[in-house]
Amino acid sequence: MTTTVEATARSRSAPQRPGFFKRLFAEYGQEIVVLAAIVVLFAVVTMVNPRFISANNLTTIFSGNAYIAVAAIGMAMVIVTGNIDVSVGALIGVLATISGTLAVAGYPIWFAWLAPVLVGMAINAIIGILVAYARIPSIVVTLGALSILRGGLISVTGGTWITDLPSAYLIAQKQVLGLPVPLVFMVVLTALAALWMRYTAFGRSLYAIGGNAEAALATGIPIARRIVAVFVIHGAFAGLATILFATQLQVIQSTVPPNLELTVITAAVIGGVSILGGSGTVIGSTLATILFATIGSALIFVNVSAYWLRAVIGLLILATVLADMLRRRGRS
Amino acid sequence: MNVKSLIRHETLLALLLVVVLIVLSFQSDRFFTVDNLLNQGRLMTEIGLIAIAMTFVIATGGIDLSVGSILGLTAILTGVFWQNVGLPLPVAATAAIAAGTFAGFVNGVIITRFRVPPLIATLATLALYRGLAEGISQARSVRGYPEWFYVLGQQDVLGVPTQLWILFFAAVVASIILAYTTWGRTVYAVGSNEVASRFSGLSVEKTKLALYTASGFAAAVAAVIFVSRVSTTRSDMGTGIELDAITAVVLGGTSIFGGRGTIVGTIIGLCLIQALKNGLSLAGVKGDGTIMLIGAVLILAILASNLFERSGTRT
């Protein structure tokens, strides 16, 4: 499914001409590596246990992690500009609580979906302003925001779960044209964001800022405004991710998975977004999310103790990073 | 000029600490007692040791996110070496610390030999080391350490908690190294301008390798103290401690871009955070409210020091 979207996006971006594969690999090398890893993993695990590609398991792999992929899209944009956000996990927790509370309180469903997106944009606008205009490094601002949001979440909810969610609200459990909604969200948002970043002046300017801020300023790009904008967009994606996260179960827990922000950052980076800024695509970050999810599921199917899951993921992340560094060095 | 702005930040922070201490002592009679303050020192040692090493790492413009996982891994190994392998406890703890130090060395190799940015390298090993801790422990905890082992984490030497002495000596030695030795000055040079440092003949890679190894060592020592303090080992020990340590370092005036920072600043930052945590909880504020305040203090402190610096140095 995702593979076809990938392929069309790629053939559009790299028109047929001599040296096609060379150019393709030069431009999308990391994405290809991650995609290859997914394919190999699927092939191997399916040979060991054919039930791995049952519809049920595929739904778990793709839909259960779609919210991470959606959050990683915004994160990828932030990192492309040379910034970072370590508060997104706590933000998703806060937004989920807001959304769920509204839904239970009887507000219209569309409002319960819209609110996390708007609040996410507003909170990240403040973060963006502190980064762009007060010139505080983004890691410091978001480290502070992480504490504030996490503390705020626990003191407001007191650790209680939100239950009795109206069934119309639970969009992540529904289907569109026979496909799970989270999967559709993930594919559509990734495709739109990838096209936007590649073909619009605004999208290109993000790469310019991350690649060489001084040169970007000299060409007339309003850097500060763009950085605020990219954080606001990232907030909107965090809000969209929240809708999927909050509606996937019958309850909303008062916590998010531990280290969610690191998972999101890792997905963006493993997908090929350079932490130094200036390069990377959201296709890569979505593929990386799928890779992590596939690894997690694969371990269960080949009967590896779940306690080794993180070690295996860590080892694969490390291998991917080292392979990428060697590839980059070989090219230069 | 650089020194001036540094002093300014630390003085500002020290004043803030004094104000906080005064306000908190009015909020609760139990706050400003010797017992309570010493006990707080006990609680801050583990983060403190990590934050001292982190100051060096951040001063070179790097970062080490894997320290919490190294702490967890070392703690688990201490328990496993002692109970499952059957080594005597001092040998087990030493071997575990050696393993933790090696984990830091691996970080250094990945960063210096393969030129992986520190944020990515330690993000990957954060997952790897925590995963190893979880895999090795299989969610079993190790308890029942001999009584003497608790001297390290639960008892006093000369009326002061044992681990606070360790933190004190570590801070003094680290300050001297960072401020007065050639090697310490190399740290600042690398952080200010890595390329220029390399052209000046400084051994940039060796310095970094040593720093990440030291960071692993600090986390490993903190792990053994942690185990001794809480009498048990679990694989999730130290989760999130990296963010606490980084907050203390940055609050203490170390520039996240490198080239600037002192151990004194880090220690003041650390005391400020601990005082806020403790004082507010004694005054009846819930732990979550305290976390929020620490976040706000971090942002405001950097904002204030940015404003001061900009008004002081027009460039």
Q: How far is CA B74 from CA A273, B106, B221, in A?
A: 32, 15, 8
What residues of chain B lie within 8 A of the CB of A135, using their CB?
A: 306
- Mutate: best of B246, B299, B300, B313, partner A, most A CBs <10 A: B299
- The reply to whether B211 falls in a domain is yes
Is B131 near chain A, with CB under 8 Å?
Answer: yes
State the smallest CA–CA distance between residue B104 and chain A in angstroms.
Answer: 15
pLDDT digits (tens, 9 = 90+) for A118-168: 999 999 999 999 999 988 888 889 988 988 998 888 877 777 788 888 888
pLDDT digits (tens, 9 = 90+) for B266-287: 999 999 888 888 877 777 777 6
Q: What is the pLDDT of residue A249?
A: 82
- The reply to whether B290 falls in a domain is no
Residues 6+ apart with CB under 8 A from A13: A27, A198
- The reply to whether B256 falls in a domain is yes
Cβ atoms B112, A280 nearer than 8 A = no
Planar angle of CA B312, B314, B315, nearest 5 degrees: 140
- The reply to whether A159 falls in a domain is yes
Beta strands in chain A (DSSP E): 175-176, 179-180
Pairwise CA distance, residues A321 & A331, whole Å: 15
Across residues A82-97, what is the average pLDDT? 91
- The reply to whether B104 falls in a domain is yes
Provide the number of CB pairs (under 8 Å) joining chain A to chain B.
Answer: 144
Max mean pLDDT range (A250-254, A299-303, A323-327, B20-24): B20-24
**Stretch (H or E) spanning B79:** helix B67-79
Across residues A276-305, what is the average pLDDT? 83
* B204: containing domain: 47-264
**pLDDT surpassing 60 at residue A241:** yes
**Stretch (H or E) spanning A321:** helix A309-331
- The reply to whether A39 falls in a domain is no
Smallest Cβ–Cβ distance between A269 and the set B120, B295, B296 belongs to B120
Q: How far is CA B88 from CA A248, B83, B94, B95, B217, in A?
A: 50, 9, 10, 11, 21
Across residues B54-67, what is the average pLDDT? 93
Is A332 near chain B, with CB under 8 Å?
Answer: no
Stretch 138-177 of chain A: residues touching chain B, C-beta under 8 Å: 139-141, 143-155
Burial class of A301 by CB neighbour count within 10 A (0 to 12, 13 to 18, 19+)? middle
What residues of chain A lie within 8 A of the CB of B295, using their CB?
A: 143-149, 151
Mean of the per-residue pLDDT values of chain B = 86
- The reply to whether A111 falls in a domain is yes
Is A288 near chain B, with CB under 8 Å?
Answer: no
Least reliable range by pLDDT among A274-283, B145-154, B239-248: A274-283
Beta strands in A111-170 (DSSP E): none
pLDDT digits (tens, 9 = 90+) for A182-235: 989 899 999 999 999 989 988 898 888 888 888 888 888 888 899 999 999 999
- The reply to whether B32 falls in a domain is no
pLDDT digits (tens, 9 = 90+) for B104-121: 999 999 999 988 888 888
B32-49 as b/e: b if 16+ CB within 10 A: eeeebeeebbbbbbbbbb
Cβ atoms B22, B276 nearer than 8 A = no
Determine the residue type at B288: D
* A323: containing domain: 53-331
Q: What is the pLDDT of residue B6?
A: 55
**pLDDT surpassing 50 at residue B189:** yes
- The reply to whether B314 falls in a domain is no
Query: Which ipTM was obtained for this model?
Result: 0.77
- The reply to whether B10 falls in a domain is no
- With residues binned 3-state (H G I as helix, E B as strand, rest as coil), the percentages for chain B, rounded to 5, are 75, 0, 20
Q: How many domains does chain A have?
A: 1
More confident residue, A238 or A30: A238
What's the length of chain A?
A: 332
Least reliable range by pLDDT among A67-76, A186-195, B252-261: B252-261
Helix, coil or strand: residue B161: strand
More confident residue, B154 or B169: B169
State the smallest CA–CA distance between residue A13 and chain B in angstroms.
Answer: 28
Q: What is the token pair recorded at A246?
A: 């909050």
What residues of chain B lie within 8 A of the CB of A84, using their CB?
A: 119
Pairwise CA distance, residues B65 & B16, whole Å: 28
**pLDDT surpassing 70 at residue B43:** yes
Q: How far is CA A80 from CA A4, A11, A206, A268, in A?
A: 25, 23, 7, 10
Pairwise CA distance, residues A303 & A326, whole Å: 32
State the smallest CA–CA distance between residue A242 and chain B in angstroms.
Answer: 22
Smallest Cβ–Cβ distance between A262 and the set B126, B295, B296 belongs to B126
- The band of B92, judged by pLDDT with boundaries at 50, 70 and 90, is very high
- The reply to whether B312 falls in a domain is no
Indicate which CATH number applies to the domain containing A248: 1.10.3470
Q: How many domains does chain B have?
A: 1
Q: What is the token pair recorded at A14?
A: 């790299």
pLDDT digits (tens, 9 = 90+) for B7-25: 667 788 888 888 888 888 8
- The reply to whether A85 falls in a domain is yes
- The reply to whether A22 falls in a domain is no
CB contact under 8 A, A136 and B303: yes
Across residues B49-69, what is the average pLDDT? 93
- The reply to whether A38 falls in a domain is no
- The reply to whether A149 falls in a domain is yes
